[in-house]
Structure 1
Amino acid sequence: MTMGEVPVGERRAIFITGGGSGIGRAIAILFAGRDWQVGLGDVDARGMAETAALLPGGAMTWVLDVCDRPAWARVLGDFVQKAGRLDVLVNNAGIATGGALASMSESDIDRVIAINFTGVVNGARAGHAFLKATPGSVLLNVASASAIWGSPGLSVYSATKFAVRGLTEALDGEWTADGIKVASLMPGFIDTPLLRVNVSGSNRTARDGVVAGGFEFTPVERVAEAAWDAVHGDRLHTPVGPTAKRLTFAARWLPGKLRRQMKARRR
């Protein structure tokens, strides 16, 4: 250890799923740049290695399928043993497979639910004891603007993000006695690899739909800054980007108009 370094166990520690790209990578870069220990979990080992190479001091990485409960326990246990603590767990891993419900394959439906919601539940359960043991800890779930109002053409995806929102609200009350803060991010459209997957039953990607709809993309760095603010603030849900903020306003004050707009867009 060199002069001025903080010993392992005293530096705050964050574990991020989906850390091989996109939002997970941006959060890792920001927190590492502010002297946090970073752990990454992803099915993409190459992507995690690329993320780690961007961080001062690198990162600890584990190949992790968020649907694998025993793997969650093993990976977080290993991370906490090495880092000495778990201040923040970011449930970020997810997929953006879309399409109308009637045209989605059963396997796509099951996969979206398993990764986007069951994986978040698995992470929360596995992380609870470690977060409880760290004063001032935070569980940060990455939901979506699709959790503000159901998104036609993304019905199953939207439903999983509403489920993440509900879980966040429930655990916010449930875990307060354990000293764990729970919060969510609700980003609008972020131009990450997640949007470049083909919509179920078509040759178009989710990104194509965003562009065709005239929506804007929010820089991924803005989501990382929102994550920092959520960890250090007291807000339960944080909409990120113009689309998410407009939806938040319309869902609260103009729900009838928003519903009509959603129907008109599908026609």
Structure 2
Amino acid sequence: MVLQENPENDNITEPLIDPNNSLPQHSATSSYTEPTRSIPTPIGSTTFNMSFVFSLLVSVGALLFASTVWYITSTADYIFFIWHPTLMSLMLLMATNGILVLQKAESRQEKVASLNFHKAMQSIAFLSIIGGFYVITTFKNMGNKEHFASPHGKLGVITFSLILIQSIAGSTLVNFPGVVGGVAKAKAMYKYHRFSGYLVLALIWFTALGGTQNPWVKAQFDHLWVWLLAAGMVFVGTVGRVKSSKLKVW
């Protein structure tokens, strides 16, 4: 799942990733200025970069959710099912931060570095969701239980399918632009991939929240406010860093 920010304003015509160089040999300056706020403190006013604050909210929220899941799975009696929430929470953490890192990339050097990090995070997320999907289907087969019977299961299979499509599409646009007619056409399609990426991220979190209401999970940890707090932090932080102008696909 590759979200490339602001490709329309990038006048570079060569591929983003040069196979002979991991980073470009030059950097471009950007006219973009991060929003700041002056915060009064007992020892004087302090200027905060609001983009960093929003970024911190996202990272802490995603980590709170994932670490709570890992706490549950590490303290519960072992069953094979445990690997499903363990892997899916890893996917959620990687996918969320993989998108976060691209939101404010402006110069070419920032874009390349952020894209490399994004690819690494989304590769881990891709492998994690495949592993988590395998675990739950195998666990259901072991107990001769119906697949995708609950709302969480139905939404999960939809999210799983869209993540696969999003990952394949993003990888194609960045690594194999010739498939869609060249670098220029691939870059023109980034905005659609970026927009759909946010939709998939929302589905990931809705699916994860649904999973927290599973009877097994509630028997281990029945504190809905923790899950809502984590999701709320991610929502506020992500929206706070979004530029609406970059989400126009029509």
Relative to the length of structure 2, the TM-score reads: 0.31
Q: RCO higher in 1 or 2 (8 Å CA, sep ≥ 6)?
A: 2
Relative to the length of structure 1, the TM-score reads: 0.30
Larger Rg: 2
